[in-house]
């Protein structure tokens, strides 16, 4: 993961603008502290802040093709880069060992359609000097962040950046670049390239669940994400999702380090450099002292025999970090900020250890309807529609959190649950299989739990302890310690007067805060990003009120939670 900043068709002196571009690119240097690059030609400029994970010694960007016709700046990882190199028809000179360089050679053979060949997560800007053409694209789900902007004084110019903070000073219109889309300056249009079979939320699938296929698909998704030439690890909250990823990573790490293929049909072109170089898996957890997540994560780490690192924080340390978290997140969404703060604190500790890549469990709750409010779904069709919509909008919430909380410290988060092949399988399962039903003991995310339940085979080694595999959903902002959210609410009550709160609707035309906590975050956001253009990319999420859900996004606000807020009244 890296940081990119680019301007196409700058309407002015590009060389005079170079220092300004370097300044704007430096704003996202936290994403790529290992090296900086800048390339100008005609009236175009591409800047890059590099985080070196693959091709560490030779992957500086922007990458310039051997014939100097193609310039490329990429943020992301291409897991099938070895296979793509092998499949190229032309005889190209590769100047680096980077997994991303293959993109420019794919462009020569496939044009903008190259994105359909990529397996990974990415955002990139590619400049074709001969055709004076720029191509920009973002991965299928939006795991990698990307924005584009315009300045009304230079209507023919277009700006691109990994984060909003590189654009807000120079652009008066800024949008989040839509996931699964590609922009082409030849047409001046942004069009969808990602069109999976499950994209239509009104098309209800009827496929029965195949537990073996589901398990093997996720194992393959984890295995391909072990590509790294630097120390790596897993984020381990002790909840189901992160624990499953950790369990699979531990097994796959052992296999790869021992030279064992996952199966006879395993693709030999997978880059499995991580376990080859770093054969012992590290795990990381965070929470308030005695929090549910720390206790559960400790148990998982012991079961998996990982090298486990446990960090605690104080309420005051977390409160002190909230403003900086909002600066990095570039949002005022309540649930995102709540969950991002502990992740932000943990990542700083991880970076201090020299680790640059972590696996994480984002996406499972959206794919399988794991949030506790899904218990309120009125029927299976509505349940499925909500899962599709939640996956489509992950780039505004959990993907944004995972990307920016970790990249604030130059650490890359990879998310196996959002693998394209795994999504194609999981999103086409009949929602009747996914929908929870407490009356018959069928809890949330039942089918993914069952896929990794080996209790019916006494000879099989369990993936996870039973009490973890069947642990109730605990949202990260709750699991780190219930007093975290409680303290945020109390702090906002103390800071925001009733008089100020009453003026919310007149103060903000868009997304007027409906709680004092939301008001507190909106004030902090405006301090960092006062320009009106900065709010266009922000999406605020609350649970489904039409399902009878409370507005508070905390899992404890849901009645099915074992210790819900209502139980304390």
Active site residues: 2
The burial class, CB within 10 Å (0-12 / 13-18 / 19+), for 14 is middle
CA distances from 127 to 25, 103, 261 (A): 18, 12, 39
Q: Which structure tokens are listed for 350?
A: 């991880």
The burial class, CB within 10 Å (0-12 / 13-18 / 19+), for 305 is exposed
Which residues, including other chains, have CB under 8 Å from residue 172's CB and lie 6 or more apart? 150, 151, 152, 531, 532, 533
Please give the DSSP secondary-structure letter assigned to residue 472: P
120-128 and 133-138 strand pairing: antiparallel
Nearest 5°: CA angle at 332, between 124 and 190? 30
Sheet holding 147-151, edge to edge: 35-41, 44-50, 3-8, 154-161, 147-151, 173-176
Distance CA 133, CA 113 (A): 14
Q: Which of 555, 536, 537, 407 is nearest to 482 (CA)?
A: 555
Classify 311 as helix, strand or coil: strand
Contact status, residue 435 vs residue 377, Cβ threshold 8 Å? yes
Whether the CA torsion 367, 373, 374, 377 is positive or negative: it is negative
Q: Which structure tokens are listed for 400?
A: 């944004």
Give me the count of residues in the chain: 569
Give, to the nearest 10 degrees, the angle between helix 516-528 and helix 315-329. 50
Q: How many CA atoms lie within 13 A of 271 on its CB side?
A: 23
CA distances from 49 to 35, 60, 290 (A): 6, 9, 39
Distance CA 80, CA 92 (A): 17
Contact status, residue 282 vs residue 309, Cβ threshold 8 Å? yes
Please give the DSSP secondary-structure letter assigned to residue 163: S
Q: Which of 535, 469, 449, 4 is nearest to 214 (CA)?
A: 449
């Amino acid at each position: 993961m890296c940081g990119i900043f680019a301007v196409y068709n700058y309407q002015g002196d590009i060389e005079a603008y170079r220092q300004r571009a370097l300044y704007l690119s430096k704003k996202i240097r936290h994403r790529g502290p290992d090296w900086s690059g800048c390339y100008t030609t005609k009236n175009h400029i591409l800047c890059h802040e590099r985080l070196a994970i693959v091709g560490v010694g030779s992957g500086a960007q922007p990458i310039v093709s051997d014939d100097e016709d193609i310039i490329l700046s990429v943020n992301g990882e291409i897991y099938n880069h070895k296979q793509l190199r092998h499949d190229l028809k032309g005889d190209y000179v590769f100047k680096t060992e980077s997994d991303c360089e293959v993109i420019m050679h794919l462009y020569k053979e496939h044009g903008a359609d190259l994105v359909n060949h990529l397996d990974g997560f990415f955002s990139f800007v590619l400049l074709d000097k001969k055709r004076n053409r720029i191509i920009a694209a973002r991965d299928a789900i939006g795991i990698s962040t990307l924005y584009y902007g315009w300045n009304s004084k230079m209507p023919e110019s277009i700006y691109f950046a990994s984060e909003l903070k590189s654009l807000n000073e120079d652009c008066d219109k800024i949008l989040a670049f839509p996931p699964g889309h590609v922009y082409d300056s030849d047409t001046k249009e942004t069009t969808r390239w990602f069109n999976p079979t499950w994209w239509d939320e009104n098309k209800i699938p009827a496929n029965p669940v195949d537990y073996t296929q589901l398990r093997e698909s996720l194992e393959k998704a984890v295995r391909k994400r072990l590509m790294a030439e630097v120390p790596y690890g897993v984020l381990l909250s002790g909840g189901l999702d992160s624990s499953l990823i950790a369990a699979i990573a531990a097994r796959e790490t052992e296999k790869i380090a021992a030279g064992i293929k996952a199966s006879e049909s395993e693709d030999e072109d997978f880059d499995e450099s991580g376990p080859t170089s770093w054969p012992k898996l590290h795990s990381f957890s965070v929470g308030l002292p005695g929090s549910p997540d720390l206790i559960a994560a400790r148990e998982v780490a012991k079961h998996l025999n990982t090298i486990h690192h446990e960090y605690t924080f104080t309420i005051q340390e977390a409160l002190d970090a909230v403003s900086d978290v909002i600066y990095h997140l570039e949002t005022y969404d309540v649930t995102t900020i709540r969950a991002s703060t502990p992740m932000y604190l943990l990542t700083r500790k991880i970076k201090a250890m020299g680790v640059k890549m972590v696996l994480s469990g984002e996406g499972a709750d959206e794919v399988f309807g794991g949030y506790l409010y899904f218990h309120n779904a009125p029927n299976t069709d509505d349940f499925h529609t909500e899962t599709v919509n939640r996956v489509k909008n992950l780039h505004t919430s959990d993907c944004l959190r995972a990307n920016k909380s970790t990249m604030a410290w130059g650490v890359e988060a990879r998310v196996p649950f959002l693998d394209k092949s795994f999504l194609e399988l999981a999103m086409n399962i009949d929602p009747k299989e996914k929908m929870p039903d407490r009356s018959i003991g069928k809890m949330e995310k039942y089918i993914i739990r069952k896929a990794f339940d080996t209790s019916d085979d006494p000879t099989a080694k369990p993936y996870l302890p039973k009490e973890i595999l069947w642990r109730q959903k605990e949202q990260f902002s709750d699991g780190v310690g219930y007093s975290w959210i409680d303290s945020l609410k109390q702090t906002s009550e103390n800071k925001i007067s009733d008089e100020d709160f009453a003026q919310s609707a007149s103060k903000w035309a868009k997304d007027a805060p409906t709680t004092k906590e939301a008001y507190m975050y909106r004030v902090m956001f405006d301090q960092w990003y006062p320009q009106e253009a900065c709010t266009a990319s922000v999406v605020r999420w609350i649970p489904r009120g039409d399902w009878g859900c409370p507005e508070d996004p905390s899992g404890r606000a849901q009645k099915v939670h074992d210790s819900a807020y209502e139980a304390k009244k």
